[in-house]
Amino acid sequence: MFPLKGKNRLIKLIFILPFQYKLILSDHERYEDIPKEYELDVIGQQMHSNYCFCEDRNINSVSLSSTVTGNFNIRPSVNADYSKKLRERTLLAAKPERTIRFLEENENRGAYVPPGQSTVVDKFSSLVPKKPKVTMEQKTTRIPKNELIDSLFGAFEKFAYWTFKGLKDYVKQPESYLKEVLNEIAILDKKGHYNNCYHLKPEYSQNISAETVSVAPQGVEVSLENVGNEEDYSYEALENEYEAGGSDEDLSDDP
């Protein structure tokens, strides 16, 4: 391990094997929002006539700091810290800058009817058959993108593999909207044991434990927050309770 020169020594360079290096940043506040660990790949031949200089602005002087001997490509190590940072950036980028407000039926929607024309409009509208109104509870309203991504991450923390139908029942969002967001964070397997199942992209799945590597049940109709807990419903207990309560006729309100 070779701490780089400097007063605070905020960076460490680790020599692993020949031509394999790792760069690790300290926990300094300036590095809070970026990955802490990087891998350096050696490229090209040895460098010649390349130097690094440092400037001291207090005394207005420049001095030779070091000689450049190699050329590297640097890339972040894909680990739990990198997945966490990437997840935070994805949620932040998906956060809407503006909010959507739905108008109620009795609110003015901006339609202008000239004076004296309201009766004509009413008579004309009575001739056109009206479609039954769909209540807001029956509509599938889009939630903000960052909330949907957060819900999808929560789903994949419970089960590593999901069918599209299972995810649709879980988040209750329009198909086109769900598919658009899902393709940003997950991959669809088209063959093998998990055919037609989605799983998180590698950069997002570092925090997934081995216990969650399973397929979600088909047609999830309710939230799965208590799946696997002791509070889950027992079908055998419900069956016994039903038999003790009587037949279907006992459940009727008729005398």
Per the CB < 8 A criterion, the answer to whether 221 and 171 are in contact is no
List the single range of 128-132, 169-173, 188-192, 238-242 with lowest mean pLDDT. Answer: 238-242
Confidence class for position 42, pLDDT limits 50, 70, 90: confident
Q: Rounded mean pLDDT of 156-163?
A: 89
Residue keyed to tokens 């009795």: 106
**Higher-confidence residue: 76 or 213?**
76
> Is 3.30.300.30 the CATH number for 78-94+140-228?
no
Give the pLDDT band of residue 30 (cuts 50, 70, 90): confident
Average pLDDT over residues 14-43: 79
pTM above 0.85, yes or no: no
Lowest mean pLDDT among 31-35, 62-66, 75-79, 238-242: 238-242
Q: Which of 11-15, 98-102, 170-174 has the highest mean pLDDT?
A: 170-174
Tell me how far CA of residue 169 lies from CA of 50, 217, 220, in angstroms: 60, 11, 5
CA torsion angle for 22, 73, 28, 209 (degrees, to 10)? -60
pLDDT, averaged across the chain: 71
Alpha-carbon span 255 to 250, nearest angstrom: 9
**Tell me, what's the pLDDT at 66?**
84
Which comes out higher in pLDDT, residue 189 or 72?
189
The owner of tokens 């991504």 is 149
Q: Tell which wins on pLDDT, 174 or 27.
A: 174
pLDDT of residue 125: 59
Contact between 203 and 87 under an 8 Å Cβ cutoff? The reply is no
pLDDT confidence of residue 178: 92
Vertex 175: Cα angle to 183 and 105 (nearest 5)? 130
Task: State the pLDDT confidence band at 250, using cuts at 50, 70 and 90.
Answer: very low
Helix (H, G, I), strand (E, B) or coil at 85: helix
pLDDT band at 188 (very low <50, low <70, confident <90, very high): very high
Closest CA to 52 of 65, 71, 61: 65
Lowest average pLDDT, out of 39-48, 78-87, 132-141, 166-175, goes to 132-141
pLDDT digits (tens, 9 = 90+) for 135-159: 555 567 888 888 888 889 888 888 8
How confident is the model over 65-119, as pLDDT tens digits?
A: 888 877 778 888 888 888 888 888 888 877 777 777 766 655 555 555 566 555 5
Between 113 and 47, the higher pLDDT residue: 47
Q: Which two tokens stand for residue 97?
A: 């800058």
pLDDT for position 197: 92
CATH 1.10.10.10 residue ranges for the chain: 78-94+140-228
Helix or strand run (H / E) with residue 166: helix 164-171
